[in-house]
C-alpha cells in the first residue's frame, strides 16, 4: 500500500508546516550584490532558469536564484 500525499490537512500547531516558496528576486545587468563566499560583485549577464552571471573581480561565477547567500545592494 502506498501513502497518499495529495491534499493532506496540516494542523496550525504542527511543527511540520509546509515550506512556502520565496519570490525570486529579479536582477538586471550592472546591479551590485554581495555573496557570503565571493564578496562584492556586479551582474554581467542573465541566464535561463533564474541564473545570473556575476563578476567578482577574481572571476565570473554563475549563481542560481533564490540564494540565501546573495544580498542586493
Domain boundaries, the chain: 32-72
- Report pLDDT for 11: 82
Q: Which residues of the chain have pLDDT under 70?
A: 1-6, 22
- Nearest 5 degrees, angle CA 64-CA 65-CA 69? 90
- Report pLDDT for 59: 94
Three-state secondary structure of the chain = CCCCCCCCCCCCCCCCCCCCCCCCCCCCCCCEEEECCCEEEEEEEECCCCEEEEECCCCEEEEECCCCCEEEC
Amino acid at each position: 500500500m502506498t501513502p497518499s500525499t495529495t491534499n493532506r490537512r496540516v494542523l496550525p500547531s504542527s511543527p511540520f508546516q509546509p515550506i512556502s516558496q520565496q519570490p525570486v528576486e529579479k536582477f538586471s545587468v550592472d546591479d551590485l550584490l554581495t555573496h557570503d563566499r565571493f564578496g562584492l560583485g556586479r551582474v554581467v549577464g542573465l541566464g535561463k532558469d533564474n541564473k545570473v552571471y556575476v563578476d567578482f573581480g577574481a572571476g565570473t561565477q554563475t549563481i542560481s536564484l533564490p540564494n540565501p547567500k546573495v544580498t542586493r545592494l
